[in-house]
Amino acid sequence: MQIESILNLQWLWGLIPFTIICLVIVIKMIFRLVKTKKKGALVSVPLDKEQEIAIDVTGPMLLHGEGPLYNNAFANLDFQLTSLSNNSDVFLSNVFFKSSASSFSKSRQSLRFFEIEQADIFQLKILGLESLPPVEHQVVITLDHRRQMAGSIVALVFAAIGLMLSFGSSLTIYIYNLS
């Protein structure tokens, strides 16, 4: 056996664990993305001019509009969230990178970002709501998982690139040794 052939076989045996590790990371990141996206809503209330909601967790949150596909019920609305215990307004900022999720019949779009520092009962006012839309429109509040999703996507891309490179290198070395 030539020295090149022996070195190529050693590289091949070194690339096999790397390929398996990359494959495991890709699968893990896909499941993590699906799990993060499926995390449920903290509060889901019908679209009404004024209502009280209880939020019992703290941290960064997103206010979403949910309704049938291809609707524009949330286009010209503004929101105001006020803590009832100390009558202070919660600062609602526009979402820079809006995310949306759709199923066959519903869509959910992120509208506002805010931070809750203590669990409380809040009053949600919707400004610009002239008439009540049908029942299927809702305001949904969820925890903000955008950073986790971005990290999972970056890890998934790098693991997929590593998987393709290691698989391609392994295949090339194997074919080279056959000839």
For 32, 47, 63, 147, 155, the CA distances from 25, given in Å and listed in that order, are 10, 41, 32, 18, 8
Domains of the chain, residue spans: 41-151
Q: What is the pLDDT of residue 106?
A: 80
Q: pLDDT by residue (tens digit) across 156-179? A: 999 999 888 887 777 777 777 676
pTM for this model (two decimals): 0.70
Q: pLDDT by residue (tens digit) across 112-125? A: 889 988 888 898 88
Ramachandran region, residue 174 (left: φ > 0; alpha: ψ -120 to 50; beta: rest): alpha
Q: What is the pLDDT of residue 8?
A: 64
Q: 15 with 106: CB under 8 angstroms?
A: no
Residues of the chain with pLDDT under 50: none
Closest CA relative to residue 105, chosen from 66, 151, 72: 66
Q: What is the pLDDT of residue 135?
A: 62
The whole-angstrom separation of Cα 153 and Cα 159 is 10
CATH of 41-151, one of 3.30.750, 3.30.160, 2.60.120, 2.60.40: 2.60.120
